[in-house]
């Protein structure tokens, strides 16, 4: 399995299991299966309400904790310095682990600058090994880069062949910040999955269209975290390291960029929702 080197000198697997929208029951089984079939990166979040299940799946697997790259995220209702410090400790308790390898701020609203400072303190204390951002861009991203004494190692955003995030990649590459895609398949959009170019490449390499798209991501320099509870799909998503797209094929895919985002929530609705939500994460199963 290919790994990427982060700007703090550590390495992260190029592909992992995303757990968004997985129920605790499905999540526990999926995590155990993924780890026992080669995966070493697991991505979860406070908001997903399945951190306890992730912890159980890790414990049930045949993989040592130190060999797993575990990521979680703090939700904006826990932003602010003291709230974020508590949220970190609560996350470790739910995951049943003394540390996480990467902790992200989940959205760019609220007191995100204070929360970032809390992440830096937790990083210095060894509770988290690295800091990242999710769904930050523009001014909010620059706000963090301006105050950071510990650089974010990656930014997790929507990214796929129809929305390649070229401007964002250019903005962060000077700081060695990598992109991690939480929508690597464009929400499984039919137009993308049936694009003639990917159908042709899948036939050429005797792979599925999904496998070709995931391979494009990694060759493009993106970390990917496709989510699934289906063990067949989990295994297929990982089976992408026995072929390489040519430079010409990468250029053809580059030309597919439509700057088309699938996940769209108006900014004012985001802020209203984050101000209203108060989830008791500790009651999750």
- Tokens found for residue 149: 């004494």
State the Cα–Cα distance between residues 68 and 27, nearest whole angstrom.
Answer: 16
For 38-56, how does the pLDDT look when each residue is reduced to its tens digit (9 = 90+)?
A: 999 999 999 999 999 999 9
Rounded percentage of the chain residues whose pLDDT exceeds 90? 88
With a CB cutoff of 8 Å and minimum separation 6, the contacts of 13 are: 1, 2, 3, 39, 40, 41, 69, 223
State the Cα–Cα distance between residues 201 and 238, nearest whole angstrom.
Answer: 18
Could you say which of 48, 116, 163, 183 is catalytic?
48
Q: Identify the pLDDT of residue 267.
A: 56
Q: In terms of pTM, does the model score above 0.85? A: yes
Contact status, residue 12 vs residue 69, Cβ threshold 8 Å? yes
pLDDT band at 200 (very low <50, low <70, confident <90, very high): very high
Q: Is the pLDDT of residue 244 over 70?
A: yes
What domains, with CATH codes, occur in the chain?
3-283 (3.20.20.100)
Q: Identify the pLDDT of residue 268.
A: 47
Site of tokens 């509870």: 229
Q: Identify the pLDDT of residue 265.
A: 57
For 143-193, how does the pLDDT look when each residue is reduced to its tens digit (9 = 90+)?
A: 999 999 999 999 999 999 999 999 999 999 999 999 999 999 998 889 999
Q: Identify the pLDDT of residue 166.
A: 96
For 212-238, how does the pLDDT look when each residue is reduced to its tens digit (9 = 90+)?
A: 999 999 999 999 999 999 999 999 999
- For residue 48, indicate whether it is catalytic: yes
Q: Identify the pLDDT of residue 274.
A: 60
Q: Is the pLDDT of residue 280 over 80?
A: no
Q: Is the pLDDT of residue 1 over 50?
A: yes
State the Cα–Cα distance between residues 110 and 95, nearest whole angstrom.
Answer: 25
Q: Identify the pLDDT of residue 85.
A: 98
Q: Identify the pLDDT of residue 283.
A: 77
SS3 of 221, please? Answer: coil
Mean predicted confidence (pLDDT) in 250-278:
74
Nearest one of 21, 62, 30 to 187, comparing CA atoms: 21
pLDDT band at 253 (very low <50, low <70, confident <90, very high): very high
For β-strands 3-5 and 11-13, DSSP reports them as antiparallel
Q: Identify the pLDDT of residue 262.
A: 82
Nearest one of 7, 42, 11 to 28, comparing CA atoms: 42
Q: Is the pLDDT of residue 260 over 90?
A: no
Contact status, residue 20 vs residue 182, Cβ threshold 8 Å? yes
User: Any bridge partners for residue 133, and if so which?
Assistant: 105, 155
Measured CA distances, 160 to 166, 192, 232, 252, 264 (Å): 11, 9, 22, 14, 15
């Amino acid at each position: 399995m290919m790994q990427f080197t982060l700007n703090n000198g550590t390495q992260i697997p190029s592909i992992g299991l995303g757990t968004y929208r997985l129920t605790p029951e499905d999540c526990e089984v999926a995590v155990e299966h993924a780890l026992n079939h080669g995966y070493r990166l697991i991505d979860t979040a406070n908001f997903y309400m399945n951190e306890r299940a992730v912890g159980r799946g890790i414990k049930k697997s045949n993989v040592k904790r130190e060999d797993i790259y575990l990521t979680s995220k703090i939700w904006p209702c826990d932003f602010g310095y003291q709230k974020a410090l508590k949220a970190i400790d609560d996350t470790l308790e739910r995951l049943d682990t003394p540390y996480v390898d990467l902790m992200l701020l989940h959205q760019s609203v609220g007191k995100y600058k204070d929360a970032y400072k809390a992440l830096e303190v937790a990083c210095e204390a060894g509770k988290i090994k690295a800091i990242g951002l999710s769904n930050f861009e523009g001014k909010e991203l620059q706000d963090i880069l301006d105050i950071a004494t510990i650089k974010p190692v990656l930014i997790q955003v929507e990214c796929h062949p129809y929305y390649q995030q070229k401007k964002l990649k250019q903005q962060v590459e000077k700081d060695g910040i990598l992109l991690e895609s939480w929508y690597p398949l464009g929400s499984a959009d039919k137009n993308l999955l049936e694009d003639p170019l990917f159908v042709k490449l899948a036939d050429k390499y005797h792979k599925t269209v999904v496998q070709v798209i995931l391979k494009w991501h990694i060759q493009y320099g993106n970390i990917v975290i496709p989510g699934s509870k289906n063990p067949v799909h989990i295994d297929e998503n990982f089976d992408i390291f026995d072929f390489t797209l040519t430079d010409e094929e990468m250029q053809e895919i580059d030309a597919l960029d439509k700057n088309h985002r699938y996940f769209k929530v108006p900014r004012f609705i985001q802020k209203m929702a984050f101000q209203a939500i108060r989830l008791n994460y500790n009651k999750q199963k």
